[in-house]
Amino acid sequence: MMRIAYVNGRYVPHADAAVSVEDRGYQFADGVYEVATFYNGILVDGGLHIDRLLRSLSELGIPQPLSSRAALQHVISETIRRNGRANGYIYVQVTRGVASRDHVYKRGMRPSLVVTVSREKKVQAKEIQNGTEVITRPDIRWLRRDIKSIALLPNVLLKNEATVLGKREIWLTDENGYICEGAVSNAYIITKKGVLVTREEGVHLLSGIVRHRVLALAREAGIKVEERAFTAKEAESAAEAFLSSSTGHIVPVVRVNDKQLGDGKVGATFKQLFALYVDSIEVDTGYRIWTV
């Protein structure tokens, strides 16, 4: 079936989807985006994704691209429907709009809205069963990491460095040596006392939608949660660690900076959380992302 994209009021073949060369997203990376997974046509935590998109727009002073939240939800649902795909992920991008190239933007510009659909990213059995590795690097991104900006060049460079080095992800440290998050994910450790630790919300990280789900599941299961900063050294000596993202779900980490965590195997706390996570997705969408 032909892929369909939504571009500024029109549903068009994906191959023909285009915006002006003077779109400020192209010229200045002046825009925001969201990526959300859907199963059986149902967005996972769709309301939270839209909340975050609207917050990012507000922080940058970009108007909502459509007349209402309901209109935006309709466009997303219709784009999924027209692509004829039950499972996958959707990408929503909003830029400030089209204007002659100038750092100073005019008021009253009409935002550009693009929505596309891609195929489902399957859970990788090898990663879930054996765990993966991360390394740390200084955070070179701008200081408003809480805004889901399309200005992702630092993330691109860092993620590519990780890939070249054969690592799953790079965890980014701030000027004080504390881990903020990964280049494309949120970061977590489990201490030897069984406490789940992840960086508190703020401008130093993008609060992931999966992060919200994971922390809620952990608390419901009686796992102690601490939202605080932790150093790379603390991560290297943790009992367990893992990362999360909307398209990658949650993935166990067994080595940090080439330091083995625990016995080098996927830990019991992660296994518990992963089972709870899989069950929660099935409850919400009727789709099981993982079967042992």
Q: For position 249, what pLDDT does the model report?
A: 97
Q: Which residues are the active-site residues? A: 148
Q: Which residues pair with 117 in a beta bridge?
A: 90
Tens-digit pLDDT profile for the chain (292 aa)? 789 999 999 999 999 999 999 999 999 999 999 999 999 999 999 999 999 999 999 999 999 999 999 999 999 999 999 999 999 999 999 999 999 999 999 888 999 999 999 999 899 999 999 999 999 999 999 999 999 999 999 999 999 999 999 999 999 999 999 999 999 999 999 999 999 999 999 999 999 999 999 999 999 999 999 999 999 999 999 999 999 999 999 999 999 999 999 999 999 999 999 999 999 999 999 999 998 6
Q: How far is CA 225 from CA 182, 204, 216, 236, in A?
A: 19, 19, 9, 19
The residue ranges of DSSP E strands in 58-140, in sequence order, are 88-95, 112-119, 132-138
What is the CATH architecture of 4-119? 2-Layer Sandwich (3.30)
Q: Give the C-alpha separation, 261 to 283, whole Å.
A: 32
- Buried-exposed string 29-53: b where 16+ CB fall within 10 A, e elsewhere: ebbbbbbbbbbeebbbbbebbbebb
Q: What stretch(es) of the chain map to CATH 3.30.470.10?
A: 4-119
Q: For position 28, what pLDDT does the model report?
A: 97
Q: What stretch(es) of the chain map to CATH 3.20.10.10?
A: 125-285
Q: Give the C-alpha separation, 243 to 11, whole Å.
A: 35
Q: For position 216, what pLDDT does the model report?
A: 98
Q: For position 1, what pLDDT does the model report?
A: 75
What is the CATH architecture of 125-285? Alpha-Beta Barrel (3.20)
22 Cβ contact partners less than 8 Å away, ≥ 6 residues apart: 98, 99, 100, 101
